[in-house]
Structure 1
């Protein structure tokens, strides 16, 4: 297997290639089969930057996009840049210096993009009838599996060691700010951002020299998860054991609980007209808890 470099083949495979393309593609589709040159994607990216700047000149201008039409235009424009950047990065000659948007500004726009996504997800179900809600944010384009809670804990452990090594306050605060910034930029960590920030701001400074960050964090995370489930049970008048079972079943099968399962978890049988709303609301809150506390954790192992 050749993992790097260019593969050179001297056989004439055009006929086989044409047959493969004809077999696996729709000849009437507008879909692109072969990748264009590096220069093509750079030009398209820079053209997209102009379109983006026309909507929001700087990242903070995204906050001024009040109408849904303008927000949708921004989402689509930046989504196009994400796609083009991902393709461009596949070329060995890729460099941000070729783009009319520096890396930090790109990340700042990405943060605004994710802010809009977060706002659409945080709306109650009955309010989720908007143009922005219908847009596919394609978060898989910007998710990076290597940045998870386990990775953040390693950074925090290093930060803790530096604090114990008597680094200057300025250096410590700078490193902490960098970690917080990373958490804010990572799509799959954004649901955990508030809790991670709470741990960093409130619990991390109180750690004793003999305490391990990973152990303390696990205890903190477990307690926060218990409180979140208890809060759900109070809000929806549910049985704690039934809620824990529904979460366990979802994690095992990947399937959302049935309507009858959710309704049977209620301490009081809901009225007929309320059942549909209660079912949708409970499932949404269950998935939020799973997304926040169980997904993208990584292996939370203690350091020796």
Structure 2
């Protein structure tokens, strides 16, 4: 059948069996990334036995417990496989995390860092699965604030241990994996931050707890971390007379123009070509470092001696940082 990686849910109101069942179910079962690790089949008919028979016929007769999603309590409380291996549930993972790494305390030492990354990654995967169950609402043990704190530490370690990227995961020393895609699906955006800033403004800029919430939200976000200084500088300019939404837009535009001008002057870049290049980056959603676009904005330089390559590298690093700072605002 066709490959439909983005298809999430299939509704079935028809008796299926054998290869017809496998093909239909497989439409939604293509793995897309760390977030979509399985598909959802909503059956209006009892196809449990037909599913087990089809799996046994076309695959492993003992694989039904692997292919078919287990019940809510299995993922919430944990369960043992037929071979006796225990799979930790959400409740157990939270208890381990809070016991070994109390909220608010730094993770110290390489062994502890490895343990924390593995444990929190397992918790993220557990939450990802449980979020498909309606029963999970109201049964979350760890609060959003606590999750943000742990997530902030997790991202701090990712930056510290950054080595190489592979797909939607970042492998660290070959045996440590950061589940960044699972963080992206739940992270806050700039609109949420501005709502908090508005709330801070409406309280006459006196509620320090809101500032703490903003800081934690930024620290737990992959996308907003590079914008932290920009956001904090804006908050520092907010007073009782500030129109938060309008002032934010004006502030970002002004800072963006100033920062780009500083890069152009410090690197002696061609102004018009650089501005055109940056606009194309924001339009395309990335800074393209291949091709001749970068070369077109560089000042005249000799191609011999390696100085041009060093200049190009420096320019790319600054433009990449600039892009990450302002993209999405």
TM-score by length of structure 2 reads 0.66
Using the TM superposition, give the Cα deviation of residue 84 of structure 1 relative to its aligned residue in structure 2, in angstroms. 1.0
The size of the alignment, in residue pairs, is 269
User: In 2, distance between residues paired with 1:81 and 1:134?
Assistant: 17
Task: Say which of 46, 60, 79 aligns to 2:121.
Answer: 79
Greater strand content: 2
Does the 8 A contact of 1:82 with 1:141 survive in 2? yes
Equivalents in 1 of 2:297, 2:310: separation in Å? 15
Higher helix share: 1
**What is residue 102 of structure 2 aligned with on the other side?**
58
Deviation at 1:92, TM superposition (A): 1.0
1:216-237 CA-partner distances (Å, limit 9, x unpaired): 1122111221232233334433
What residue is the counterpart of 1:288 in the other structure?
321
Q: What is the aligned counterpart of 1:36 among 70, 77, 87?
A: 70
| 1:93 match | 135
- Alignment of structure 1 residues 212-231 onto 2, 5 Å: 212-231=243-262
2:181 equivalent in structure 1: 140
| Alignment check: 8 A CA contact 1:111 1:185 kept | yes
Which position in structure 1 is the counterpart of 2:220? 185
1:244 to 260, 272, 275: 275
Q: Which runs of 5+ in 1 are unaligned?
A: 1-6, 123-129, 298-304
The whole-number CA distance in structure 1 between the counterparts of 2:275 and 2:132 is 43
Q: Does the CA-based 8 Å contact 1:83-1:141 persist in structure 2?
A: yes
Mapped to 2, the partners of 1:157 and 1:103 lie a distance apart of 20
* Residues 232 and 285 in structure 1, CA contact (< 8 A), matched pair in contact too: yes
The one of 192, 204, 211 aligned to 1:176: 211
More displaced stretch, 250-259 vs 87-96: 250-259
Deviation at 1:287, TM superposition (A): 2.6
> How big is the shift at 1:158?
3.5
Partner residue in 1 for 2:195: 154
- Structure 2: distance between partners of 1:72 and 1:47: 19
- The corresponding residue for 1:264 is 296
* From 102, 110, 123, the counterpart of 2:151: 110
- Residues 263/139 of structure 1: CA separation in 2 closer, same or farther (3 Å cut): same
DSSP-derived class of the 1:93 partner = helix
Q: How far has the Cα of 1:38 moved from its partner?
A: 1.3
Give ranges in structure 2 of 5+ residues lacking alignment. 1-9, 31-57, 79-87, 164-170
Is 1:197 the counterpart of 2:200? The answer is no
Q: What is the RMSD of the two structures over their aligned residues, measured on CA atoms?
A: 3.9
